[in-house]
Structure 1
């Protein structure tokens, strides 16, 4: 039963990724059809992000009241309805209205699923689940491009993804009782909770457990939030401006630059699949550190005036380095800060990640418009170094707390 239920969660992660890349693929056709300005896609994206940030911040309260199963069901239903609404939208203003429930649906389910897996499954499942998010993000453009390329409307692309989401809603509805049942079974086996080789959260931070209090005041939480903000800022910055950097700074053709940036995303997806196996040998902390070091090497290859082939290697290394960071930081959250606090903290972490991904890449674009896009890897370098320092600071705090707890016991 636990295996069957895990398959359902995998499908849920695929569904999370499906809508994320639809707008960018469909917008060149959508804005003409709706009579909207090309740059108006930014307003839709910001509306989705705003809803996602709000629901992520509120996810601790919502999940505490309804539970992960019901929140996942309701959120997926909201997403399906919003996508169906997109397919029937008569004007641009309706897209803005529907973007709000689309974002609200994404935030809570993202935080809820991540927290559930972090508390009930081993680290390799977290990496593979985020790999499957990449599968969904890849399938979305494929579905949309088939309808657009086949002389069909973008509306059929949105409608198809909506029907896929409604199918998941039905599956979640009929399996709703399994969430609590499987969760209780997993809790009986403690080695399924704390991951591979990680110390129990109750050993590290038991004296700081707050339950319903202000979890941001816990030792290390602010550094964790900053790490998520700068990780997502770095990942999104490369994705948004990487092609422009290669064309304008490294003198690549637009076609070649686009294919190399797609390999960057491929590096993240494949890297997370590989990370799932590596977690059986290495701890989350080691993989976070290793990923940050690999991404630093990749960024230096982009900064230095090296042959073009090394720029390709740099993009691949940044993607491979980024691969383990996000899922391992999520899975480490209950270990670092306690299972009683992880639900709220993961919600805050997701919100900070969305804030970083939403606001810092456009800020870079504004500065680059006044200067040069060649500054892009320097910004990402700052993000990675800040994230690395924050992560290492958390590790030192956890080590000191562990030593303090042991001394108290003695």
Structure 2
């Protein structure tokens, strides 16, 4: 019988996996909070930036089948170490981009390695759960959001001090390498999960509703990650520190919500929890777009994080328990819809923003969140 682990910080195998989640998002948070200056330095329009940002999800999508194959042939510890060191090695590359094409190429390479790291650390979390009969997946995803919060929050402060993006990303990457090497003895003793199909999966009919919700919400998560800091800088003339707080607040709320996710599900039921989370996210984003002051916009993006935080983990749970569909295939199908959402988000928001403004580009995400809440009413789990 699997039980919730209440002593996560003192269980070294679980903590090592959770800190790997933290490493991935710490780097991403550091990068995303400084996107406005990359856009300004390269003189890119919203549409051009959106197409350049497409490199990351395209790389992740192309690499996913190979990443699953690699993870299945290495032990949990080997896969986590190799993917983490590769990711830290390539992550500073976009800071050296000289134009949209080199930015796309750098992000494409990051997407390749990100896919490998993402699959390896989730597989390791599942293996720890199975071996020790504990539940840590939700906490690990909370650690991911916590890392993004720390990365984005510190990034805004570092940018305001005049530290170059190149020095910033290289330093953070080296710190994360040091953290991983410190944990290496524990990581290499982790249990390994049995090999499964980790590639893309087309949703069967029974999962179409869940897949659609995942698609809508992941577009929203991708939009906040890529465009929140830019929105505050360009639309509300916020400084780099305040602009960085938009994604930091979003990530902080995501972490809080995910740490509380299991309790929310027990209180409300899965369908109602997804419905209310989607609507809360839509309301928060509406506040962020319409707010006359940067601080209110940051509050709005924080509310979005609280609303969206539990939706995807709850969708995975519903997919795993759908009658007639295996747990692995169900989760893979919903996860694939999320990857496609991330794939669509950067150019879609960028192109809408080019023609109608960034506020309306983000407003499209409000509509998708409302549609997700309507669809969620049909979830029976």
TM-score, length-scaled by structure 2: 0.72
Match of 1:255, SS state, is coil
The residue aligned with 2:170 is 159
Match of 1:180, SS state, is coil
The residue aligned with 2:351 is 366
1:233-272 equivalences under 5 Å are: 233-238=219-224, 240=226, 253-255=236-238, 258=243, 261-262=246-247, 263-272=249-258
The residue aligned with 1:7 is 15
1:13-52 equivalences under 5 Å are: 13-26=21-34, 36-38=42-44, 42=50, 44-52=52-60
8 A Cα contact 1:27 1:41, kept in partner: no
Residue number among 84, 102, 110 corresponding to 1:102 in the alignment:
110
8 A Cα contact 1:224 1:349, kept in partner: yes
8 A Cα contact 1:111 1:350, kept in partner: no
TM-score, length-scaled by structure 1: 0.68
Q: Provide the C-alpha distance between the structure 2 equivalents of 1:100 and 1:133, rounded to a whole number of angstroms.
A: 21
Q: Provide the C-alpha distance between the structure 1 equivalents of 2:163 and 2:297, rounded to a whole number of angstroms.
A: 38
Deviations 1:85-123 (A, max 9, x none): 567x59667665543332112123223433554672799
> Against the structure 1 CA distance between its residues 218 and 211, is the aligned structure 2 distance closer, same or farther, given a 3 Å change threshold?
farther
The residue aligned with 1:356 is 341
State whether structure 2 residue 210 is matched by structure 1 residue 174. Answer: no
8 A Cα contact 2:316 2:330, kept in partner: no
The residue aligned with 1:202 is none
Shift of 1:8: 0.6
Q: Provide the C-alpha distance between the structure 2 equivalents of 1:157 and 1:242, rounded to a whole number of angstroms.
A: 20
Match of 2:191, SS state, is helix
Deviations 1:261-315 (A, max 9, x none): 4544443333333435545656555532331243355467689999999988765
The residue aligned with 1:63 is 71
Shift of 1:233: 1.0
Unaligned runs of 5+ in 1: 185-209, 400-410
The residue aligned with 2:3 is none
8 A Cα contact 2:210 2:334, kept in partner: yes
State whether structure 2 residue 254 is matched by structure 1 residue 273. Answer: no
Of 271-280 and 314-323, the range deviating more from structure 2:
271-280
Shift of 1:23: 3.4
8 A Cα contact 1:241 1:376, kept in partner: no
State whether structure 2 residue 273 is matched by structure 1 residue 287. Answer: yes
8 A Cα contact 2:322 2:330, kept in partner: no
State whether structure 2 residue 353 is matched by structure 1 residue 383. Answer: no
C-alpha RMSD over aligned residues = 4.7
Deviations 1:13-39 (A, max 9, x none): 11110221333444566689xx84445
Match of 1:226, SS state, is helix
Shift of 1:53: 2.1
Residue number among 190, 198, 210 corresponding to 1:224 in the alignment:
210
Shift of 1:334: 3.1
> Against the structure 1 CA distance between its residues 282 and 154, is the aligned structure 2 distance closer, same or farther, given a 3 Å change threshold?
same
Q: Provide the C-alpha distance between the structure 1 equivalents of 2:252 and 2:188, rounded to a whole number of angstroms.
A: 36
Q: Provide the C-alpha distance between the structure 1 equivalents of 2:246 and 2:325, rounded to a whole number of angstroms.
A: 37
Deviations 1:115-172 (A, max 9, x none): 5546727997434322322222233345555665555543322222221332344356
8 A Cα contact 2:35 2:230, kept in partner: no
8 A Cα contact 2:198 2:332, kept in partner: no
The residue aligned with 2:5 is none
Shift of 1:50: 1.5
Residue number among 65, 72, 86 corresponding to 2:80 in the alignment:
72
8 A Cα contact 1:118 1:331, kept in partner: no
Q: Provide the C-alpha distance between the structure 1 equivalents of 2:357 and 2:216, rounded to a whole number of angstroms.
A: 21
Q: Provide the C-alpha distance between the structure 2 equivalents of 1:155 and 1:304, rounded to a whole number of angstroms.
A: 34
The residue aligned with 2:4 is none
Match of 1:216, SS state, is coil
> Against the structure 1 CA distance between its residues 382 and 341, is the aligned structure 2 distance closer, same or farther, given a 3 Å change threshold?
same
The residue aligned with 1:406 is none
Q: Provide the C-alpha distance between the structure 2 equivalents of 1:25 and 1:346, rounded to a whole number of angstroms.
A: 30
